[in-house]
A = this chain, B = another copy of it.
Amino acid sequence: MSDQALKHCPPACVSCGLRKLDAFTPVTPDQLKYIEAFRSGFSQVDAGATVIHEGSPNGKLFTLYSGWAFRYKTLSDGRRQILNFLLPGDFIGLQQEFADGAMHGIEAITGITLCVFPRDGLLELFRDYPSLGFDVTWLASREEGMVDDALLSAGRRTAAESIAMLLMHLYRRVQRLGLERGADAEGASIEFPINQQHIADALGLSLVHTNKTLRRLHKLGLHEIRDGQLRLHNTRALERIADYYDRPLRKVPLL
Q: Give chain A's interface residues, CB within 8 Å of chain B.
A: 71, 73, 75-77, 79-81, 83, 94-95, 97-102, 104, 122-123, 126-127, 130-131, 133-134, 136-138, 140-152, 154-157, 201, 203-204, 243-245, 247-250
Nearest-CB residue, chain B, relative to A143: B144
- Complex-state Cα separation, A230 to B213, whole angstroms: 40
Nearest-CB residue, chain B, relative to A148: B83
Q: Does A130 contact B127, Cβ atoms closer than 8 Å? A: yes
- Complex-state Cα separation, A244 to B148, whole angstroms: 21
Nearest-CB residue, chain B, relative to A136: B137
Q: Which residues of B contact A142 (CB under 8 A)?
A: 98-100
Q: Which residues of B contact A73 (CB under 8 A)?
A: 148-149, 152
Q: Does A134 contact B145, Cβ atoms closer than 8 Å? A: no
Q: Can you add 9 more A-B contacts, CB < 8 Å, to A98-B142, A122-B134? A: A94-B137, A98-B145, A100-B250, A102-B149, A133-B133, A137-B137, A144-B147, A154-B154, A154-B204
Q: Does A97 contact B134, Cβ atoms closer than 8 Å? A: no
Nearest-CB residue, chain B, relative to A137: B137
- Complex-state Cα separation, A210 to B51, whole angstroms: 37
